[in-house]
Amino acid sequence: MSINENQDEIINEFSLLDGDMEMTVFYIMELGQKLPVMKTEDKVEVNSVKGCQSKVWLSAKYEDGKVHFSADSNTAITKGLVSLLVRIFSGQTPENILNAEFYFMKKIGMERFIGTQRSNGFAAMIKQIKIYALAFKTQLEFKS
């Protein structure tokens, strides 16, 4: 699925919650529980996302032309938020990640249920994903 298809799917899921704040927060935490377990050896400082109030680890690998992300957090809500990003961007090309338009946050009204601190942390996670994509794209260009 494309980045936009992944975002549209998330928007549809959240629309079923009909703006109910409590259900939305529980759903985000549930998404975090479904996040594939990150290897312990990947939970190192170099994979730590700077700018998050919670502890967040994000790692990436490049295989067969696509970037694959793994992530974890020490808090349930933040883990759910990073799981959304992993779902959207894992399996995409570096080029597609770098050119992606992020619209799902606004469409699901994310600002209503995450505060300023989490918004800043979420922006830092997106920035880290783009940095990984740029690094892989640059590596590819350097090799050719």
Phi-psi region of 73 (alpha: psi -120 to 50; beta: other; left: phi over 0): beta
User: What is the domain count for the chain?
Assistant: 1
Q: pLDDT per residue over 79-136, tens digit each?
A: 999 999 999 999 999 999 999 998 999 999 888 777 777 788 899 999 999 999 999 9
- Token digits of residue 41: 């050896």
Q: Fill in the amino acid letter for 79.
A: K
The pLDDT of residue 144 is: 62
The angle, 0 to 180 degrees and rounded to 10, between the axes of the packed helices 21-33 and 76-89 is: 70
Q: According to DSSP H, which parts of the chain are helical?
A: 3-15, 21-33, 76-89, 94-99, 104-108, 110-113, 116-143
CA distance 120 to 115: 9
Grade residue 51 by pLDDT with cuts at 50, 70 and 90.
confident
Quote the mean pLDDT of the chain. 93
What range defines the domain where residue 14 resides? 3-143
29: domain CATH number is 3.90.1010.10
Total residue length of the chain: 144
